[in-house]
Chain A
Amino acid sequence: MTTVKTKLDRRSFIRSSALAGGGLLLTFSWLAPACTTDSPKQLTMPDEWYELNGFLKIGNNGAVTIMSPNPEIGQNVKTSMPMIVADELDIDWKFVMVEQAPLNTDIFTRQLAGGSQSIRQGWNGLRMAGATARRMLREAAAHEWKVPVDEITTEAGVLYHTGSGKEAGYGEMASAAAELTVPEEVELKDIKDFTIIGTSRKNVDGPKIVTGKPLFGLDYKAEGMVIAMIEHPPAFGMKLKSFDATEAKAMPGIIDVFAIKTYNDDYEWQWSDVTSFTELVAVVGKSTWEVMNAKLMLNVEWEPIADDNAQGVPVGKENTTDHYKKMEEAAANSSRERRRDGNPEEAFKNAAKVIERTYTAPFQAHNPMEPMNFFADVKDDFAQLAGPTQTPEFMENTVAARLGLPLEKVDVQMTRMGGGFGRRLYGHFMVEAAVISQKVKAPVKLIYSREDDMSYGIYRPAYHALYRAALDADNNLIGFHVRMGGIPDSPLHANRFPAGSVDNYLAESFSVDTNISTGAFRAPGSNFNAVAEQSFLDEVAEAAGKDPIQFRLDLLKRAQENPVGSNNDYDAARYAGVLEQVREKSGWDTNSEGKSRGVAAYFCHNSYVANVVDIANKDGEPVIEKVYASVDCGIVVNPDAAVNMTEGSIVDGIGHAMYSGLTFSEGQPEQNNFDMYRLIRHGEAPKEIEVHFVENNIDPTGLGEPPYPPVMGALANALYKANGERYYHQPFVKNSIG
């Protein structure tokens, strides 16, 4: 039996109060650390993360409402997080209502969707909340029935006392429970007793989605609301010089046209702010179509940004061809060592065989299907915002600073997000909406067109990697060297596999400056590492005459039994576990005859995933027949949703590796809509996807990102088997539109 503390030192993770109209309200810290009696020191998060930000309500009619604290972006946390609370509470799932928690009340803070961390960080706090409510209901019943609390059992929302034959629904005891003091310690269920966790529950918003109910930011509407769009510089490295709005203003339905500044001059930037286009022209009108038409009539002059611009953005208009050259030069001249084991130079000198390969990948636009948008209603003393954001709290700070309002006078409501993939971590559009609303003194919905969205991106950086491997005369891997960089950041994870499995290892990184705005994109860094590294290891295994799975397993065995170095940031046994499972499930050793198959495995965001991809040739074109996935993300909270997330990641990974890339000419993105920027479509998805999970009792880790990177490597390796060609440069399909 695991016991968790509900408070530590003077800090409480949970608070109870009576619900207006009768019932129990618990507010809790869904990010409460693992304060088990076994490990009371396991505290690694900053203080403010312990604030009470979760919410559980039991009405005296027995209705249970659980607020899902994290933004819903399609990762299904709005269903899976409440499932965790409901299981510990021991309530029938069909009686649970799930609501999206708002931001910026007294009780909700630190809400962020990113890094596949929602479930991992929420696990303990959510369990504690459910267990605390159940404990308090049992105490209330014990008090009422005058029996020892230990004799009270629960099942599916009903309290029982076997001895006296008494029973009561949770609702009947909820008001009495609200009078009790929160216990300092509560028992959690044994994993084997879970009744909801580990069972598939359907998306709580499913019925609304399939009937077209307003759920998304773009669907938001308020009384007196006007529509705004922005015109941004056509190229990175440019800024607003002047504009003539005469014609645009004369267009029907247009209310105003003006320039806005996104940030004050003395503003201190935070990580979620964007510095590329800080002065824009805003067009405000009565309807979207009228604003779109007026935007076409704008006459704007743009000019190069100044050398000494306040943001320190590099000047110049960049080109894709130069980008690749610059990365090659930087790789050769300015790489910095990040990890060294043994004597790699000596190993390469003594090698019987050296394999050296270079991999590249382009900038990519996030392209969530719902373009950037936000609602803002800014009054003199209060601002209300609503819309799709992955970082409501960070952006609330930025908005408050820009409007000159105290933080508590800015309210941000989260809507469901029509995808994010990292793009909505950067909420400049929230500030823009607020500034426009402040100027026109009306509620405003700011809408980006697809062209705005794609050409004012916070792109996945462009990447470049050089890999070298040294084999001895017996085909043992004796040296490994990776030199990896990007524009503007290196994606290198120096302490990941194969670090720890090779005696002589060298990892280096480099970076190249740019004025193109970049940021996190689904599985940052890993989304390139996995394909480059796993393609390379496939070639090394081939050169060594070894089976690609066995080759990896041998290295992982070394890392497990006798690791090189001490700071390897992966668990070699779990890594090997997914490879072994995918080998078995795909029939790798027994059923590969006549198939063009490739394998890859990767670890990121605390979870492990391995894939086998099978390709067939149909009329000379490769068709992806089947993808196998083996996933180790610890306990699987909502299995069918986890399968869905894995399937989607596989389709997404294949699509981006095969087709998607953004190129620049004179600082201008050369693709700005789906006629030129290619995304994977129905017929290009695998015909079948088979997902398996490694069963264990390890606390759950995230799934929004980990299944995305490895499939790209498995795909490249399968394509090689199908057509004899290795794929070093993304996108693999060169006749992509644009």
Chain B
Amino acid sequence: MAVFNLNINGKQHEVDVDPSTPMLWVLRDHLDLVGTKFGCGIAQCGACTILVNGLATRSCITFVDSVGDKEITTIEGLSENGDHPLQKAWIEEDVPQCGYCQSGQIMNAAGLLNANPSPSDEEIEMAMHGNICRCGTYTRIKKAIKAAANS
């Protein structure tokens, strides 16, 4: 076990965990930030996506000891009042069905828009390739990302 000081959603958090613990479980089990979802554990589904220094990252394979003082953003910290352009677009397009994968989709899209504020359809498809939606809401996700990019 070791103590880590983490910068999450603009606040400092101290956790005492095994250094090999993935950020996914640090967030979910130790900090009660459960918006970040467990889907596969091997970076194949994208449900656990967070931003590390603004970059979309799979938290299930990001070990706590690799994070240092980097800025972590989770779905809970994407905006203060749920009014990030992506969150608003997600509501407007009424994207979710079961909803489980959607925080990962939104965080991945946020990483995409950070790097590329007005992505083409093809760029959206490529950037979102790693995020599975089992309910099949892909067409709406694409619409929502484009709407957010244009806002």
Contacts and interface: CB of A to CB of B under 8 A. Distances in A.
A417 B100 CA distance: 8
A418 B99 contact: yes
B94 A289 contact: no
A724 B101 CA distance: 37
A293 B22 CA distance: 12
A202 B106 CA distance: 18
Contact of A369 (B130, B132, B142): B132
Interface in A609-658: 640-641, 644-645, 647-652, 655
A219 B102 CA distance: 15
A210 interface: yes
Contact of A212 (B74, B135, B140, B141): B74
Contact of A651 (B76, B129, B136): B136
Interface residues of A, number: 68
B136 A647 contact: yes
A450 B125 CA distance: 25
Nearest to B127: A682
A234 interface: no
Contact of A419 (B98, B103, B142): B98
Interface string A289-318: 110110000000000000000000000000
Contacts of A475: none
Interface string A63-84: 0000000000111100000000
Contacts of A652: 134-136
A371 interface: yes
Interface in A48-98: 73-76
B54 interface: no
Contacts of A680: 136, 138
A688 B75 CA distance: 28
A207 B134 contact: no
Interface stretch (A131-139, A434-442, A548-556, A671-679): A671-679
B37 interface: yes
A219 B32 CA distance: 9
A207 B29 contact: no
B97 interface: yes
B135 A74 contact: yes
A367 interface: yes
A673 B134 CA distance: 14
B99 A686 contact: no
Interface in A177-218: 200, 202-203, 205-207, 209-216, 218
Contacts of A683: 122, 125-126, 129
A289 B100 contact: no
A416 interface: yes
B47 to A, nearest CB: 6
A689 interface: yes
11 contacts: A210-B87, A369-B47, A369-B101, A369-B133, A370-B98, A418-B37, A421-B134, A450-B42, A644-B97, A651-B138, A679-B132
Interface of B: 1, 17-18, 20-22, 25, 28-30, 32-42, 44-45, 47, 74-76, 78, 82, 86-87, 90-91, 94-103, 106, 121-122, 124-126, 128-142
The 5 closest A-B pairs by CB, nearest first: A212-B35, A651-B136, A418-B100, A74-B98, A212-B75
